[in-house]
Chains A and B, each alone.
Chain A
Amino acid sequence: MIHFLYFDPGLGALILQAIAAAIAGVVLFSKNLMFKIKSFLGLVKQDDDVFDDINVKDSDIESNASSDDKQ
Chain B
Amino acid sequence: MTTNNRHSSSFRDPSGYIFQDQGVIKRAILPLYFKQYEALNASGLFQKLQSAGLLIPHEEVANSNSEIIIQPEQLSFMTYPYEWSFMQYKEAALLTLKIQKFAVEHGFSLKDASAFNVTFHKGRMLFIDTLSFDFYEEGQPWRAYKQFIMHFFGPLLLAKYTGADALKLMSTYLDGIPVDMLAAMLPFKTKLNPFLYTNIHLLAKFENKYSEDYDNTSKVRKLSKRAMLNMIEGLYDYIKKMKLENASEWGNYYDKTNYEDAAFKKKSDIINTWIKNLNVKTLIDVGGNDGTFVRKIDTTLEEALVCDIDNNAVDANYVQLRRSKETNMLPFMLDVLNPSAAIGFNNKERDAFLTRISSYAPDMTMALAVIHHMSLSGNIPFEMSAEFFASFSKHLIIEFPKRNDSWVQRLLNTKGEFKAHFDFYSISNFETAYAQYFDTIEILEIEGSERVMYLLKTKDD
Q: Which A residues lie at the B interface, using CB under 8 A?
A: 1-3, 5-7, 9-28, 31, 48-51, 53-56, 60-62, 64-65, 68
* B217: chain A residues within 8 A (beta carbon): 11, 14
Complex Cα spacing A51 to B195, Å:
21
Is the beta-carbon distance between A23 and B195 smaller than 8 angstroms? yes
* B221: chain A residues within 8 A (beta carbon): 15, 18
**When the two chains form the complex, which single residue of B144, B149, B234 contacts A24, counting CB atoms closer than 8 Å?**
B234
Is the beta-carbon distance between B198 and A23 smaller than 8 angstroms? yes
Is the beta-carbon distance between B145 and A9 smaller than 8 angstroms? yes
Q: Across the interface, name the chain A residue whose C-beta is closest to B32.
A: A2
Complex Cα spacing A18 to B219, Å:
11
Binds A, one of B75-83, B235-243, B338-346: B235-243
* B206: chain A residues within 8 A (beta carbon): 12-13, 15-16
Identify 17 new A-B residue pairs, CB closer than 8 A, beyond the known A18-B141, A49-B323, A50-B87: A1-B135, A2-B32, A2-B111, A9-B145, A11-B219, A12-B211, A13-B203, A15-B206, A15-B220, A17-B228, A20-B199, A23-B198, A24-B233, A24-B235, A51-B90, A56-B102, A60-B51
Is the beta-carbon distance between B220 and A11 smaller than 8 angstroms? yes
* A53: chain B residues within 8 A (beta carbon): 236, 240
Complex Cα spacing A62 to B227, Å:
29
Q: Across the interface, name the chain B residue whose C-beta is closest to A60.
A: B52
When A and B form their complex, what is the total count of cross-chain residue pairs whose Cβ atoms lie within 8 Å? 156
Is the beta-carbon distance between B237 and A28 smaller than 8 angstroms? yes
**When the two chains form the complex, which single residue of A12, A24, A31 contacts B210, counting CB atoms closer than 8 Å?**
A12
* Min distance, Cβ B313 to any Cβ of chain A, angstroms: 16
* Min distance, Cβ A47 to any Cβ of chain B, angstroms: 10
**When the two chains form the complex, which single residue of A2, A14, A50, A55 contacts B33, counting CB atoms closer than 8 Å?**
A2
Q: Across the interface, name the chain B residue whose C-beta is closest to A68.
A: B51
Q: Which B residues lie at the A interface, using CB under 8 A?
A: 12-15, 32-33, 36, 47-49, 51-54, 87, 90-91, 94, 97-98, 101-102, 111-112, 134-135, 137, 141-147, 149, 194-195, 198-199, 202-203, 205-211, 213, 217, 219-221, 223, 227-228, 230-237, 240, 319, 322-323
Given A2-B33, A60-B52: A54 in contact with B101 (beta carbons within 8 A) = yes
Is the beta-carbon distance between B52 and A12 smaller than 8 angstroms? no
Is the beta-carbon distance between A24 and B13 smaller than 8 angstroms? no
* Min distance, Cβ A22 to any Cβ of chain B, angstroms: 7
* A9: chain B residues within 8 A (beta carbon): 143-147
Is the beta-carbon distance between A20 and B220 smaller than 8 angstroms? no
Is the beta-carbon distance between A6 and B208 smaller than 8 angstroms? no
* Min distance, Cβ B180 to any Cβ of chain A, angstroms: 11
Complex Cα spacing A14 to B49, Å:
27
* Min distance, Cβ A58 to any Cβ of chain B, angstroms: 9
Q: Across the interface, name the chain A residue whose C-beta is closest to B36.
A: A2
* Min distance, Cβ B70 to any Cβ of chain A, angstroms: 18
* B202: chain A residues within 8 A (beta carbon): 16, 19
* Min distance, Cβ B20 to any Cβ of chain A, angstroms: 23
Is the beta-carbon distance between A65 and B51 smaller than 8 angstroms? yes
24 A-B pairs whose Cβ atoms sit less than 8 Å apart in the complex:
A2-B111, A6-B12, A10-B210, A11-B207, A11-B210, A12-B203, A12-B208, A12-B210, A14-B220, A17-B227, A18-B221, A18-B223, A19-B202, A23-B194, A27-B234, A50-B87, A51-B94, A54-B101, A55-B101, A56-B49, A56-B102, A61-B48, A61-B52, A65-B51
Q: Across the interface, name the chain A residue whose C-beta is closest to B110.
A: A3
* A23: chain B residues within 8 A (beta carbon): 194-195, 198, 234
Complex Cα spacing A55 to B229, Å:
11
**When the two chains form the complex, which single residue of A5, A6, A20, A64 contacts B231, counting CB atoms closer than 8 Å?**
A20
* A27: chain B residues within 8 A (beta carbon): 194-195, 234, 237
* A28: chain B residues within 8 A (beta carbon): 230, 233-234, 237
Given A6-B13, A10-B207: A15 in contact with B223 (beta carbons within 8 A) = no
Is the beta-carbon distance between A14 and B141 smaller than 8 angstroms? yes
* Min distance, Cβ B61 to any Cβ of chain A, angstroms: 19
* B319: chain A residues within 8 A (beta carbon): 50
**When the two chains form the complex, which single residue of A7, A19, A26, A64 contacts B147, counting CB atoms closer than 8 Å?**
A7
Is the beta-carbon distance between B210 and A1 smaller than 8 angstroms? no
Complex Cα spacing A49 to B319, Å:
9
Is the beta-carbon distance between A56 and B98 smaller than 8 angstroms? yes
Is the beta-carbon distance between B210 and A54 smaller than 8 angstroms? no
Complex Cα spacing A6 to B210, Å:
19
Given A14-B141, A15-B220, A61-B48: A48 in contact with B240 (beta carbons within 8 A) = yes
Given A18-B223, A25-B227: A56 in contact with B54 (beta carbons within 8 A) = yes
* A17: chain B residues within 8 A (beta carbon): 141-142, 145, 223, 227-228, 231
Is the beta-carbon distance between B51 and A61 smaller than 8 angstroms? yes
Is the beta-carbon distance between A6 and B102 smaller than 8 angstroms? no
* Min distance, Cβ A13 to any Cβ of chain B, angstroms: 4
* B233: chain A residues within 8 A (beta carbon): 24, 28, 54
* B49: chain A residues within 8 A (beta carbon): 56
